Every structure is written in C-alpha cells, then in structure tokens.
Structure 1
Amino acid sequence: MSEQSSKVINTPLTPNEKLLEKLIGSFSDQTFNELDNDLLDDEEENWEISFDEVDDHISEFQEDEFVREAFDKGMDLREYARNIEKELSIIEKDHEVDYVKQAKEFVELHNQIQTCDQILETMENMLSVFQKDLGNISTEIQTLQDKSFSMNIKLKNRTAVEKKLDNVLEGIVIPPLMIKKITEDEVDESWLAYLTELNKKMTYVKYNQNKNLKAIKDVGPELEKLRLKATEKIRDFLLNKIRSLRIPNTNVQILQQSVLLKYKELYQFVMDRYNDVAFEIMHTYINTMKWYFFNHFERYNRTLQKLQNPIGDKSSMIGYDENLRKGGIFGSGKIALQDKTNMFVLGDRIDTLRTQDAGVILVHVAENKNQKYSSEALFRSFNLTLIDNASSEYLFIIEFFSKDDKPNVEGAKDIFSEIFDTTIKMGLNSTKQYVANTFDAIGTLLCIRLNTQFALELQRRRVPALEGYTNQTNMLLWPRFQAIMDMHIESVRKAANKMTVKDVHPHFMSRRFAEFIASISTLNEDYNDPILNNSLSRLRNELELFLEKMSKSFEDDNKSSLIFLINNYDLIITILSETGGKSVEANINHFKELLNVKISEFVEEELNPYFGSLITIVKMFELEKDGSTIDPEFFDKVSADFASTWRQSLTSINTSVIQHFSNFKNGTTILHAVLGQLIIYYTRFCNALEEKMKDGTVRIGHQPVGVQSVMVEIKKFRSNF
C-alpha cells in the first residue's frame, strides 16, 4: 500500500487539481478544523457497528474473494484491517495535500462562474425584451392574416359576380359588327363564324327568358330580326348550291365535301331556328339528287347494254346438236352460236369475280375501241358504280342531315330511299330484263357471286340502305339460274332419245358437260350451295344415262361400246383434273370408279379374241378345283396355240389400243391393264398345266413358253405409248 501511496503522491497535478488546491489555500485554518471535526463525527457515525449484525456480515464477507483467501491462509483479520486503515489514512492525507495545492484554481473557477452568471443574467434580460417584441409582431401578423382572408373572400365574390356579369353581357350584347356582317355580307367562312355567335346568343336568351332581366327582354326583338335575316341568307345560299348539282358535268361528291359539309352548320341553324326552311332545303336536295342519280344511271345502263356481247341462246344447251339445222328438215342452215365456247367454259370470266380493283367500264372508251363485254362484266360495272355512289350519298346524308352531330340512321334511310327509289327500281328492272333473256348459266352464277360480294362490301362500309336491293337482285338471279340448269338437264334427257353415235371417239356432250360442271363447281367452291350441288348431281346422272344409251348404238359390238364409254369417261376426268381444286374432286372420283369398271370389262374383251381358249381353260380348272372334266388334249392344244401365236397377238393388242385410245395417259393405263391381266391368266394356266402333268393326266409334245419370256416381251410393248 505504501508503494501505491508514493505513486499517487508523485503523480503530476491536473489543472483541475491545481484549481482545487488554490481554493483550499484560500480557506482558513479554522475552516479546516471544522472540516476535520465533521469528518471525525462522520467516522464515529460510520464505525458504529451492531454486534447483532456481525454474524450476517461475517457470512457476507466469507463470500468475498479476498476475505476467503485471507481465511484460507490463516491471516488475522484484525491485523489486516489495521494495515488497510493505515494505508487509507496515508492516501487521505496525500489527497488533502493535493486539494490544498489546487485551492487557487477552485477560487478562479468560482470567479468565472460568477462572471458567467452575470453575463447570463444580462442575456436573459435581453431575451425577455425580444420575446415581448415577438409577441407584438405575432399580434400584428394575425391582424394582417385576418385582413387578407377578408380581402380574399371579397375578391372571390367580386370575381364570381364579374363572371356572371360577363356571361350575361356576352349572351345578350349584340356587337354592331355582327349585325352588319349578318345582314349585309355574303355567306362565307367569316359569316359562318358570326352565325355561330348569333346562335349562342339566341340559345342563351332562350334558356334565361324566364329570369327577370330587362336586358333580355330588350334584346329579344333584335335577335329575332337577325334570325329571320340569317335564315333568308342560308336558304338562298343552300338552295343555289343544291340547284348547281343539275348543271352538266358537275362532280357531286366534290361539291358535297367541299361546300355542303363545310357549311353544314347553316342547315343545323335552320333546323333549330326555322324548321319550315330546313324542310324545304331537305326536299329540294332530295328531288335534285333523285333526278341526278336516275338520269345518270339510266343513261349509263342504256349505254352498257349496247356493249354487251351475247353468249348463247335458248338452243345453247349441253344437249343441243350444232349439226342439226334450224327448223328441222326444212331448215336452211346451222345455228350460229355466239361465243359458244364460253357457254360451258369459265376461263378468264372468273377474273370479273376475283379482280378487286378492276374499276368500272368507261363507256366512251369502250365505244371508241369498239369493245364488247360479257353480261357479268356489265352487271359488275353497273352495280359497283351504284353501291359506290349510294355509299357516298348515304354517308353524306347521315353527316349533313344529322342533328347535334348525332347520327339519325332511320331518318337517313328514309331520305336515302326517297333519293334512290327510282334508280333502284330501274336497276332491278334491268336485271329482270337480263335474266328473262339469258341462257348463260355461268354468267348468271357469276352475277350471283358478284351480288354476294356487293352485299358483304356494303356491310363492311356500314351502309344498310341497299340491303333490300341486293336481296331483291338475288331473288331475280337464283330462280333464273335454276331454270337454266333445268334446261341443260332436260336437253341431255331429250338428246338421249334423238341421237345415235357411229364412232368410239368422245361425244361432244361429254366435253361440254365436263367443262360446264368444272366451271359451276369452281364458282361454288367457297359456298358449297346444296341446291346447286343437287342440280349438278341431276345433270351428272342424266349424262351417265345418255352415255350408257349411246354406247348401245353399237348393237352387238360390246368392245366398241366399252371403248366409247372409256373415251368419254377419260375425257371428263381429264378436263376436271385440269380445273383442279377441291370442288371437282368428288366428280373426278366418281368417274374414275366408272372408268375402272369399264377398263376391267374392256381387258376381258380385248384378250378374248386372242387368248379366249386359255382364259376358258383357266376358269374351268379353277371352277372344278382339279379340272377332271377337261379333255387332256385341250391343255396340249391351248399350250401349242399360245406358243405359236402369242407374239403376234401382243402386236395386235398393242395396235388395237393405239387405234382406239389416242389419249397417251389413258392408252398406257389400258395397255398395262391388258398385258398385266394376260400375265395373270398365263401364270395360272402354267400352274394348272404343271399340276396336270405331275399327276400324269396330261402329256404335251412341245416345250411350253415360259412366263418369264412372256414378261420380257410384254415390257417391249409397254413403252410404245
């Protein structure tokens, strides 16, 4: 403990300890004596120990680490306590010296604290004054805020009053310039602006006439005078523009878009302000456009009819024989069919249906070039022109005659109907006249498909006004088309009772039928109309009956009959195959089945004259299973005859096929079928002969021809086509 005390005494004094030393130095000895007495009193109080608590303290001290260590070493605690007390006394004296040394610093600190207290007192006085000033300023700010809020309310009230007053002044005050412009100037864009302003003032006065405002009552008569004057000018202006549509070569659509729609607010004004004038303007427009469209379309239709290229007549049916003379046996010549081929062949006529941007026929150009057109081309040109003009007119009517920019569809339909009523009737009469005189089924069906396209185009344009026209046109075209189909079917039926054939070449009716059915099927590909399909089936059945009946014209020559049917079926399949498309697949498959049946029959007929005995013995052997009833010499004779004649027979068969079937593909198929069937028959004969030779019932005196040799020879003939 002495070492620790010396370390403490030798420790340099800190600034605070020096200040404390100075402070203690300023104390008097009396003061220190008083302090010592107080300390002694405190010590006496602190060292008074109750022996009742000694046991408790002993137990508590035993838990202390140092006490427990002292007990373990056997030390005397009283001695240990006295040592500690001495050390504490030395340390206390050392600290007292330190405190005395720093007494002056404590005095200086005390003086500094007093100075700070004085400064803080001064600042407190200043802040008190400042706080009072801030309170006065806050009161003034609150006063200003109250005044600002009051002024703001007054400003809002005055602004609201001013706005209402402006509305009233704007609604009832009529500037002199407006009066001068409306009454004296011509109608133009600037005049329209003043009319719009006038309309606003009239609307304002109308909605505020029940208010007790003297200004409104005063301005009413003046506005009425301006209304009458404006209506008069509008009436004259619009009627003059509408009458100008009657001038020749006037472009109606340009005048509608650049003038009437530009000034449609004029008509809106009279609709709202003078309904009688609006009614007069509307009916003047209806009558003018009614005359305009009827006059132009009637002249256009009349000119188109002069450009028509007639296709066929009532005798231009599938079953009509162009070799017959007109008027029976007393006729003087053949009937000259006009464009006969196009009666049955679609060809480039379908371009009328597929070409979307072909435009319309310009009559003056066509007349100069002396061009002629088919009926469907004329039908397309007339109706395309009609729906283009009708669509433009309908959209104009909806926009111009609507009220408050709200389309009135029903009203527009009524106006449109009045305008186009006579033109539509003229168009329907023209179509009716066409269907009454036409016998062109392809042209009529093309018109039907065109009419369907027109109906879809009108739906796309959202022009329902012509829906009735397209429906009525359909009702005219379909019955006539069915009637023409019935005529074709009837002509085939009648031809079966009048005609006969003398050669095996394809009949002209087969070509007509194939071309015709291919054309109609192509036009029905995207529609698959069941009624039309039924008509085609009826026509096909009649043609089959006709060909079967014509094949019997060869009497007992079954081979020629088969060749005739095969050539006709092959021609039909060839023409249908050239057409292509799914629409003809069913008919192609049907005639292929018929063709295959007839080819099978022809194979037997072709082989029988040359290899009849061989075929007979094969069938007899297979029928009896063992051929026990067949004369053994018959096997020898058949084998010998085959060996001596088979090469010559193959040549004859090849010549016959070449002669009767000029179609390369068909002839090749038939020749392969004949020669293939021959191989089958001869193979079966060789098997039967071998079996009979094994059981010893048949003996032949020559070497049979091998099947392989026959096949090698046949390969030479297969390349002849």
Structure 2
Amino acid sequence: MVQQSTLVKMKYVLFFLNDHAPSVASELTETYADTMSRLLVGVFKAYHTALFKFVDESAGRTDVVAVEEASLKASMFSSRVKPTNAFALGDRDKVVENAVAPPILVHMAQAEGGRWPYEALFRSTQVHLVNAATSEYLFLLDFFKAAEGSNPVRVRELFLRIFAKTLSLGLEQLENYLCTCYDAIGLLLMVRLTLQHQQVLQQRRVPVLDTYLNRVLLLLWPRVYAVLELNVQSVKTAKPKKLGNVELHPHYVTRRYAEFVASVLALVPDAAAAGAGVYGHMAALRGALVELLDKLADNAHKTAKDKCVFLINNYDLVVSVVQERKIESDELFDELLTNSRDKFVEEELLSHYGPLIGFVQQAEAKQRTIAGGDATIPLDSAKVERIVKDFNGQWKRGIEHINANVMKFFSNFRNGMEILKQVLTQLLLYYTRFVDLVKKSWTRPPSFSNDIVTTQEILYEIKKYSRSF
C-alpha cells in the first residue's frame, strides 16, 4: 500500500506540524480520512460487483428436505440450481481451511471463467477487508500517533471514520443476499469463516473490526435458524401422497435428510453459543422425519414385515451417512434401527417357522404360571410330532428363503448381513428352547425322536451363510 511505502516515511513532517501548526496537522488528518474513505468504498464496491458475477447458486427456495416430487423433478432439469449441492457438503468446507488465503483476483477469475459458491466469494471479500483493515490500522498507529497523542482509542476512531462507508456497504450487501438465501450449508460456512477472521484479528491485535464482524454474525445466525426452520416445516407439513412412490428402499426425503444433517452437524461451531440453537432445530427435524416415515410406511405398505423393511432401510441410511461423515452417532436412529430389526426378525421367522415359534411362546408362558416356572408341563404329543416333522422337512429351505429375502429387501449389504445373522441366531435360540421343552416332557425318547433335527445340524447350516457376516 502507498501508505507503507511512501507516506510512512513522511510521518516526521506530521510530528513537526503537530508541534508547530496543530491546525494544519488536524486539517491534513481530515483530508487523509476523507480521501481514503472515498477510495476504499469505491475499491470494495467495484471488487464486490465484479467478483459476484461469478457466484454459483447452491440452493433455491425449493431446496428443502421434504420437497414434493414434482418440484424435485423440476429442479433436476434446471440449469440454475444443482440439486445435490443443497445437502451434500462435499469439499465446500475447504473454504474454511483456506480462510486467510489470498483473495480471488477478478482478472484471474475472468480468465479462468470459473464459478464459486457464495461462501467462497464472501471469504475472498472479507479476507480482503481484514487485510486492508490490518494494514491501515497499523499505518494509522504509526503515522498519526503524534497527532492523536499516542492514543489507540483516537486512532481507532480515525480508522472508523475511514472505513465507516466501506463497512456499511459490506453489511448492506450481505443483508441483501441473506433475504433470498436458502443455503444452510453456505450460511454455516460463512459463520465459520467470520469466527476464524475474528481469531486472526485477535492474533494480529487489530481490534477495529470487532463490532463489524459481530454484526455480520448477528445477520448470519437468524438466517441460519430461518432456513433450518423452513426445512423442519417442510417435513412436518409434507403430504405423503405428494412424495412419490414409496417402495422398500430408502425414500429420497430420508436421503436428503441424512446428507443435510451430516453436513450441518459437521459445521456447527463448537464454541459458538448461538450454535446451540442449531441442535434444537436438528432435534425438531429428526422428530418430524420419524413421524413422516411412520406415515409413509403405514400408507404404502400393508404387511408388518414390509413396514419393518422400509423403516430399517431408512433408519440404516441415516446411521450409515452419519457414521461415514464421522459425526457423533444419533442414538435415536440407532435405537429405532435396533427395534425395527428385532421386529423384522420375529416377522421373518414367523412366516417360515410360525407353528414352532407359536408353540414355544405358548408353552413357556404356561410354564411361567406354574410354581417358579421350572415345572414340567404336559405337551400335546400329536402337535409336537407334527411340528417336529414339519420342521425336519423344510428348515433348510426356510433358511434359503430367509437369505434370499434379506438380499432382496436390504440395499445395504452390511446391514443385510447383520440382519441375516440376527435372524439365524434367533432361529437357533427358538429351536433350542423347543428341544428343551420336549426333553423335559418325555422321560424316554418319543417315537418321533429320530425326526428331531439336532442343533449341531442347524449350526453347521448357519455357518455356510455366516461366511459373509
């Protein structure tokens, strides 16, 4: 800057004028402040106007979690907005890693013909301001220290006179953008950038932008909350019939939710008290999604098993995306996934081994009503024999069908293998309990004892499938 290269060498002239002609020194200070004020506001206005021609919009008004299928299809064919950008963080967080990197040069941007998300241009403009403010403040401390009586407060006042119009311009430009911004990820990135720029100025011991950056945050946070609330309301007010076909695989609303939550939680500043409000909105969004998934399951699927499969696939998607992004696990979805898996296991076993399972449950319930639950109860010999022979004739085929169903129902292979393991383990437990009941009721081997499949045979068969676990 010309101040550092030329004017600072003339500071002793100002010292002399301050001692011998204070009115002239004061007039010189006023002239400098007015000139620099006009110069800076012109530079930053021109830079902003030129730079923001390269903005690439990442989210629009319809980019909410629970968008209707018709709007979703329309956005896919729109060249104005890229649908995936609104929810997937991707490499957008690199802008935070490069928070204090040199600003984008307009002529280079024009030559490259590239486009950037708003937060990248915001970073460039703000780091330009931070660097200019640092240089100017240090110059003022050095050059005007005699005229201002070595008083940092007076120097700060002089700085604000110089930068007042530029700072007002920056706030006005930001406020105009925020009125039509629906990009929660971009907003949180801008919050993170502003917090980092505050730290940089603290390290440089340059306090003159404290108020400005605080006002930037005061503009950003309410808009963050407003956009989050739009997403919450989109899920709460969603009409299942307008959300497309509901099959067994994860619904597109769940996929958008998982990406959105993972991105937002990855960006919430740990030290920012205002960030606590984000978690409140995320909790509301989570609750709304759980209710919506229940509605979709009830409306689209008739059997309890199909409902379980649909819910498992959706819960698993959320858990998988969160784990993949290395975000702290959501205990609610972990619990919902576990409970739905348990229900599916029972439904799947009942569809193949219903008579055996029903018999075990009824016999054990009856046994518990007798003294201490250890007493032997009489069993219907004909019924037991029928169950034994039915099981002997179809148990392997049942396992084959279970394996085929799991492969068909669950798109996530890891999730499917966990469920298959759980189903086969539960089958073995039910059968072991059945055999124990038979042993307690017959002091001698019954006539159908040769038809009783041993648990070792079942274990051997399970091991064939467990190679994939």
The answer to whether the superposition gives a TM-score over 0.5 is yes
Given candidates 478, 482, 490, the residue that maps to 2:225 is: 482
Q: Which residue of structure 1 aligns with residue 254 of structure 2?
A: 510
The aligned residue for residue 280 of structure 2 is 534
**Counterpart Cα distance in 1 of 2:285 and 2:417:** 30
> Structure 1 stretch 634-643 or stretch 545-554: which is displaced more?
545-554
| CA 1:609–1:533: 2 relative to 1, 3 Å | same
Superposed CA RMSD:
2.2
Distance (whole Å) between structure 1 residues aligned to residue 269 and residue 162 of structure 2? 38
Matched, 1:379 2:126: no
- The secondary structure found in structure 2 opposite 1:263 is helix
Task: Name the residue aligned to 2:434.
Answer: 685
SS in structure 2 of the partner of residue 439 of structure 1: coil
Q: Distance in 1 between matches of 2:204 and 2:468?
A: 62
Report Cα offsets for 1:507-536 as digits up to 9, x if no partner: 112121111111111112633632111111
Q: Secondary structure at the match of 1:348?
A: coil
Equivalent residue, structure 2, for 1:89? none
Find the aligned partners of 1:632 and 1:525 in 2 and give their Cα distance. Answer: 68
- Once the two structures are TM-superposed, the CA of residue 325 in structure 1 deviates from its matched residue by 7.5
Contact kept in structure 2, 1:563 and 1:660, CA below 8 Å: yes
Partner of 2:414: 665
Query: 1:101-120 alignment to 2 at 5 Å?
Result: none
- Report the equivalent of 1:419: 162
Q: Which amino acid aligns with 1:621?
A: A
Amino acid corresponding to residue 265 of structure 2 in structure 1: S
Specify the alignment match of 1:596 in structure 2: 338
In 2, Cα distance between equivalents of 1:332 and 1:260: 55
Question: Which residue in the other structure is 2:321 paired with?
Answer: 575
Distance in 2 of aligned mates of 1:458 and 1:333: 42
**Residues in 2 aligned to 1:514 and 1:333: alpha-carbon distance in whole angstroms:** 19
Q: What residue identity is the alignment partner of 1:300?
A: Y
User: Is the 2:376–2:440 Cα contact (8 Å) retained in structure 1?
Assistant: no
Q: Distance in 2 between matches of 1:399 and 1:555?
A: 75
Paired residue type of 2:139: F
* Cα pair distance change 1:389/1:545, threshold 3 Å: same
Q: 1:521 aligns with which of 240, 265, 268?
A: 265
Q: Show the counterpart of 2:467.
A: 719
Which of 43, 49, 57 is the equivalent residue of 1:310? 57
Q: Which amino acid aligns with 2:9?
A: K
Q: Match for residue 549 of structure 1?
A: 295
**Which residue number corresponds to residue 350 of structure 2?**
608
Q: In the alignment, which of 611, 621, 646 is matched to residue 363 of structure 2?
A: 621
Kindly state the Cα deviation for residue 627 of structure 1 after the two structures are TM-superposed: 7.2
Give the CA deviation at 1:699. 4.7
1:336-387 deviations in whole A, cap 9, x for unaligned?
6612212111111111001255321111111111110111101110010011
Contact 1:500–1:553 under 8 Å retained in 2: no
Give the match for residue 432 of structure 1. Answer: 175
Structure 2 SS opposite 1:403: coil
* Equivalence map 1:107-256=2 (5 Å): 253=1, 255-256=2-3
Answer whether contact 1:554 1:560 (CA < 8 A) is retained. Answer: no
Contact 2:99 2:127 in 1 (8 A): no
Give the equivalent residue in structure 1 for 2:370: none
Q: Give the Cα–Cα distance (whole angstroms) in 2 for the partners of residues 569 and 365 of structure 1.
A: 46
Q: Which residue of 2 aligns with 1:645?
A: 394
Provide the rounded CA distance (Å) in 1 between the counterparts of 2:203 and 2:146.
Answer: 25
Deviations along 1:272-313, one digit per CA (max 9) or x if unpaired, are 111221122111111110111011000001012101001121
Q: How does 1:21-100 map to 2 (within 5 A)?
A: none
CA distance in structure 2 between the aligned counterparts of 1:501 and 1:559, rounded to whole angstroms = 18
* Aligned position for 2:458: 710
**Does the CA-based 8 Å contact 2:385-2:448 persist in structure 1?**
yes
Of structures 1 and 2, the one scoring higher in RCO (CA 8 A, sep 6+) is 2
Match in the other structure for 1:459: 202
Say if 1:693 and 1:699, in contact at 8 Å, map to a contact too.
Answer: no
Write the distance in 1 (CA, Å) between the matches of 2:147 and 2:191: 41
Q: CA deviation at 1:541?
A: 1.1
> Would you say the 8 A contact 2:432–2:455 is kept in 1?
yes
Residues 1:694 and 2:443 aligned together: yes
1:394 aligns to 2:137 (yes or no)? yes
Checking the alignment, whether the CA contact within 8 Å between 1:620 and 1:627 is kept in structure 2 is: no
The secondary structure found in structure 1 opposite 2:6 is: helix
- Give the aligned residue type for 2:262: A
Q: Does 1:285 align with 2:27?
A: no
Is contact 1:387-1:454 (8 Å) kept? yes
* Partner AA of 1:321 in structure 2: E
> Which has more radius of gyration?
1
Q: Counterpart of 1:288 in 2: which secondary structure? A: helix
- 1:119-163 CA-partner distances (Å, limit 9, x unpaired): xxxxxxxxxxxxxxxxxxxxxxxxxxxxxxxxxxxxxxxxxxxxx
Aligned mates of 1:635, 1:627 — CA distance in 2? 15
> What SS does the corresponding residue of 2:9 show, helix, strand or coil?
coil
Structure 2 contact 69–244 (Cα < 8 Å) conserved: no
Partners of 2:425 and 2:139 in 1: how far apart?
A: 76
Query: Is the contact between residue 376 and residue 447 of structure 1 (CA under 8 Å) also seen in structure 2?
Result: yes
**How high is the TM-score relative to the length of structure 1?**
0.61
Q: Report if the CA contact (8 A) 1:322-1:334 is conserved.
A: no
**Overall identity of the aligned pairs, in %:** 35
How big is each residue's C-alpha offset from its partner over 1:546-574, in whole Å with a ceiling of 9 and x where there is no partner? 11111112343111110011111111111
Is 1:365 the counterpart of 2:103 in the alignment? no
User: 2:422 matched to 1:676?
Assistant: no
For residues 279 and 246 of structure 2, the distance between their equivalents in structure 1, rounded to whole angstroms, comes to: 33
Q: Take 1:267 and 1:595, find their aligned partners in 2: how far apart are those partners?
A: 74
* Counterpart contact for 1:325–1:335, Cα < 8 Å: no
- Partner Cα distance (1:279, 1:527) in 2: 44
> How far off its partner does 1:321 sit?
3.1
2:371 corresponding residue in structure 1: none
- Asked whether the equivalents of residues 87 and 260 of structure 2 are also in contact (C-alpha less than 8 Å), the reply is yes
Q: CA deviation at 1:315?
A: 0.5
Letter of the structure 2 residue corresponding to residue 553 of structure 1: N
Q: Which amino acid aligns with 1:363?
A: V
* Unmatched segments (≥5 aa) in structure 2: 368-374
Question: How far did residue 410 of structure 1 move?
Answer: 1.8
Q: Using the alignment, how far apart are the partners of 2:91 and 2:150 within structure 1?
A: 44
